[in-house]
Structure 1
Amino acid sequence: MRADRLVSLVLLLRQRGRLTADTLARELEVSTRTVLRDIEALSAAGVPVYAERGRHGGFALLPGFRTELTGLNHDEALALLTAGSGRGLGLGPALASARRKVADALPDSHRATARLLVEPETDLLSRRLVAEEVPAATMAVVRGAVLAGRRLRIHYAATGDTARWRTVDPIGLVTVRDRGYLLASRAGADRTYRLSRVLAAEELPEPAQRPDRVDLDRIWQERRARFLSEDHLTVHVRVHPGRREELLTHAVAVRAEEPEPDGWLRLEVTFQDSWHAEWALWQLGLGAEALDPPSLRTALGNRAAELAARYRIPYSEPCLSNDSVSRSTPSSPRATAGG
């Protein structure tokens, strides 16, 4: 692990120039003291790294120093640089390190990292894009058992249930939108576990009971179809295109989608239950309208009426004219751009 970190440190200095110890520590996810020890180790190994003191000081490499990485053409390297984040499987730091190595190997005339930004921390609305967190040590054990083909003991907290230990035969790992899943079998029955709910894990010495070769994509599609066929609430909803992604973030799945003449989208989506659907659509405000089932429309209407009653302006206080209110407040989702 330290060897990989030393390589990453060199590549950071190669690609970004002079960096402070604090910046290096943040990038490598270690302490500043560890960075200083690594700098000393690199110097002792002959890597031309030197310190610049002063207000704008830091560590840098002598001009012209570079590492070599061969065997990849430009398009192959570019594909790796734009690969998924890997956070759902606990491989985010490893992928970041790999990207630095690949970028450093590209000729200066073909280097594309300054033109491509992959997986920024926030979207255009400054909302932080937070992936589900899995402790690195736990994820390493799970990943190791999957790759080694050994049985796995996990301390798992299912929704609405007390966390308890389970012994499973791991089949593979899947990541979707930075959510990681463990596909496994338990006592011969198919099981799918959300990695963020695995509180601890132990790799067992006995081999996992599983086929030597598996089509992981096919297995995932089968389990997804089975999951969607279970008892979920189906909702028909109109949504402004600007709020579509937010709706999909909350929904379990999308069954159908088609555009409407006014530019909005009509979707058939599923939620875990009525409470989940009401909560999700309430977040979208005037950017969405529940069409069916009627019980969901009623629940949302009642909630809106209660909120309006709470914030009603007393007659004794100044208030806007009716014309001002009608101009500034849309009467329905169809009258607003994005809620």
Structure 2
Amino acid sequence: MRADRLVSLVLLLRQRGRLTAETLARELEVSTRTVLRDIEALSAAGVPVYAERGRHGGFALLPGFRTELTGLNHDEALALLTAGSGRGEQAFGLGSALASAMRKVVDALPESHRATASDAAQRFLVEPETDLLSRRLVTEEVPGTTMIEIRRAVLAGHKLRIHYTATDQAPQWRTVDPIGLVTVRERGYLLATRSGADRTYRLSRVSAAEELPEPAQRPNRVDLDRVWRERCTQFLSSGHIAVLIRVAPARREDLLSTAVAVRASEPDADGWLRLEVTFQDLRHAEWALWQLGTDAEALAPGSLRTSLRNRAAAMATRYGDSS
């Protein structure tokens, strides 16, 4: 771990010039005291790093210094592959590895291409935290040590103990056979089996995990995309409510952001859209439709129309007094 950190420190100084101990500590996710110890270790190893005192001081390398310490480790290569499919580096705890890997990639570029690549990277922004409606992206957090244990068990094919909190249940330890990890709309899931039965666990509900030495009972190869589709089908077929809705086209995405799934969609006669949407239960459907106001209408089931009508009548009564 320290060797990787020392490499990252050298690459940060090469690519960004003079940096303070505080900046280096923030980038490397360590304390300033650790950075100072690393600087001493680099100097003792012959790396020409020096300190500049004063208000604008910091640490820097002698001009022209170059090293070939650019080999990717396992987690860094995994982070690059995973990042190609979206924001998986955050869901699977690979953010630090990705940052380290990208520093090595940039450092490996020829000098003539490095500035061009850095400038080009500033022209792209992928999945910012806030959209045009000022809605902040909510990313579920998983403790770093927990995510490392889960990831190790998945990749090594070992059994895994997780301390998991299911809906409306007290937390308890479970021993599972991990199959793979999936991230969907900033939510991470562990696909596994338990006593031979399919199980899907929300990563944000795992408070602790332990990789076990016993091999997991699972096939050597897996089509994770197929397994995920099968799990989704099974999930949607149990305990959910299907709702037929008319919605203004401009509010379609707002509706879909609250629904579990969309089973059918077609244009309606007046320019609106008619959709068959799945919600968790009647309460969830009522809440979602209420957010859309008069831009949506529930056509079925009748119980949902009744609950929305009663809710609207109660609101009208509450605000009926002009005083």
Common fold: TM-score over 0.5: yes
2:75 equivalent in structure 1: none
- Alpha carbons of structure 1 residues 305 and 22: separation in structure 2 relative to 1, 3 Å: farther
Q: CA deviation at 1:222?
A: 1.3
Q: Who is 1:85 aligned against?
A: 87
CA distance 1:104–1:235, change in 2 (3 Å): farther
Whether contact under 8 Å (1:258, 1:266) holds in the other structure is yes
Q: Which runs of 5 or more residues in structure 1 are unaligned?
A: 72-77, 316-339
Q: 2:102 aligns with which of 76, 99, 114?
A: 99
> Which residue type is aligned with residue 84 of structure 1?
G
Match of 1:183 in 2: 191
Question: 1:151 Cα shift?
Answer: 1.2
- Does the 8 A contact of 1:80 with 1:99 survive in 2? no
Which residue does 1:33 correspond to in 2? 33
Q: Is the 8 A contact 2:71 2:104 kept in 1?
A: no
Q: Could you tell me how far apart the structure 2 residues matched to 1:146 and 1:80 are?
A: 14
CA distance in 2, matches of 1:313, 1:247: 32
Query: Which residue pairs with 1:165 in the alignment?
Result: 173
Partner of 2:214 in structure 1?
Answer: 206
Asked if 1:230 is matched to 2:230, the reply is no
Task: Encode CA deviations 1:103-147: one digit per residue, 9 max, x unaligned.
Answer: 343423445312222232322333321211111111111111111
Instruction: Assess if the C-alpha contact under 8 Å between 1:81 and 1:103 holds in 2.
Output: no
Mapped partners of 1:63, 1:285: distance in 2: 63
Q: Which residue of 1 aligns with 2:6?
A: 6
Note the aligned Cα RMSD (angstroms).
Answer: 3.1
CA deviation vs aligned residue, 1:250-306 (integer Å, no higher than 9, x gap) = 221121234557765443221110112222333445554434333323333443444
The CA deviation at 1:180 is 1.5
Partner of residue 138 from structure 1, selected from 130, 140, 146: 146
Distance of 2:255 and 2:49 partners within structure 1: 50
Q: What's 2:264 paired with?
A: 256
Aligned to 1:273: 281
Change (3 A) 1:23 1:83: farther
Mean alpha-carbon deviation: is it higher for 270-279 or for 61-70? 61-70
Residues 1:281 and 1:13: Cα distance change in structure 2 (over 3 Å): farther
Pairs aligned (count): 309
Quote the offset at 1:159 in angstroms.
0.8
User: TM-score, normalising length from structure 1?
Assistant: 0.77
Say whether the 8 Å CA contact 1:183–1:193 is kept in structure 2.
Answer: yes
Structure 2 vs 1, CA of residues 262 and 100 (structure 1 numbering), >3 Å: closer, same or farther? farther
Matched AA of 1:32: T
Is contact 1:25-1:35 (8 Å) kept? yes
Q: Any idea what SS the aligned residue of 2:34 has?
A: helix
Instruction: Give the corresponding residue for 2:202.
Output: 194
Relative to the length of structure 2, the TM-score reads 0.81
